[in-house]
Amino acid sequence: MRLSVGFALLLTILAYTAQAQVITAGPDSVIVPVTDTAATDNTFFLSKWNKPAKAALLSAALPGLGQAYNKAYWKIPIVYATGGVLGYFLISHNNNYQDFRQALIQRNRDSTDAYVNSNIYGIDRPNGTANLKRARDFYRRNRDLTILLSVGAYGLQIAEAYVHAHMKEFDISDELAFKVQPSIMRVPSQMAYTPGLSLTLYTKAK
């Protein structure tokens, strides 16, 4: 008897739950729209960057282009003149290195290379294998150094365009002033004072 009462009570609860579900799914329910927060942004990516970042990117893409973006046109010939000089020495040192390298290989084979009884560095004397090695290593070292200088010059013109774009946004109006005056400074490691100069950047009072 107790089992029947419990079973009937369980059926009543299930029926009430099913009825509540039907009611909430009825025509009176409200559909809440969900806003799509992942909307596609079609804005060109460069428009979000500041001027220094754009100048650096342009200089990285093409040397001198960042200087043109900063309207510092007089710097462009300097950039390309530096590149031309470094390119000339790079090609020259590499050609000499390849020539002496091939001559050394041939000397080690049959001693009939083009540098037998000729001069290197303007010194007239028979050039042995040791001289060819020194010449080969000399031009290889200069070639590698020129490559490092070229990479440094490339990075320097990018940094210059970036810094120039930053400096253009600084306030350099007549309200700024720079003052240099003599001063007495204390030496931290000693209980003494030494003369020096104080540099002060301040705004002029109106």
Query: Is 148 within a domain?
Result: yes
- Condensed to tens digits (0 to 9), the pLDDT of residues 126-182 reads 557 788 888 899 999 999 999 999 999 999 999 999 999 888 766 555 566 667 777
Higher local confidence (pLDDT), 11 or 96 = 96
Task: Classify 52 in phi/psi space as left (phi over 0), alpha (psi -120 to 50) or beta.
Answer: alpha
Query: Is 184 within a domain?
Result: no
Query: Is 54 within a domain?
Result: yes
Neighbour-count burial for 152-164, b at 16+ CB within 10 Å, e otherwise: ebbeebbebbbeb
Q: How far apart are CA 51 and CA 55, in angstroms?
A: 6
The average confidence (pLDDT) of the chain is 75
Check pLDDT > 70 for residue 124.
Answer: no
Higher local confidence (pLDDT), 111 or 44 = 111
Query: Is 192 within a domain?
Result: no
Domain that holds residue 70: 47-170
- Condensed to tens digits (0 to 9), the pLDDT of residues 45-63 reads 556 667 888 889 999 999 9
SS3 178: strand
Query: Is 156 within a domain?
Result: yes
Q: Give whole-number Cα distances, 92 to 21, 78, 97, 99, 132, in Å.
A: 87, 21, 9, 11, 17
Which region among 76-90, 150-164, 187-201 has the lowest average model confidence (pLDDT)?
Answer: 187-201
Higher local confidence (pLDDT), 123 or 95 = 95
Query: Is 124 within a domain?
Result: yes
- Condensed to tens digits (0 to 9), the pLDDT of residues 168-188 reads 766 555 566 667 777 777 777
Question: Is residue 102 within 8 Å of 91, Cβ to Cβ?
Answer: no
Q: What type of residue sits at position 81?
A: A
pTM of the model: 0.57
- Number of domains composing the chain: 1
The residue to which tokens 């282009």 are assigned:
65
> CA quadruple 102, 107, 112, 116: dihedral positive or negative?
positive
Higher local confidence (pLDDT), 103 or 144 = 144
Position 47 scores a pLDDT of 63
Query: Is 9 within a domain?
Result: no
Query: Is 125 within a domain?
Result: yes
Q: Is 200 exposed, middle or buried (0-12, 13-18, 19+ CB in 10 A)?
A: exposed
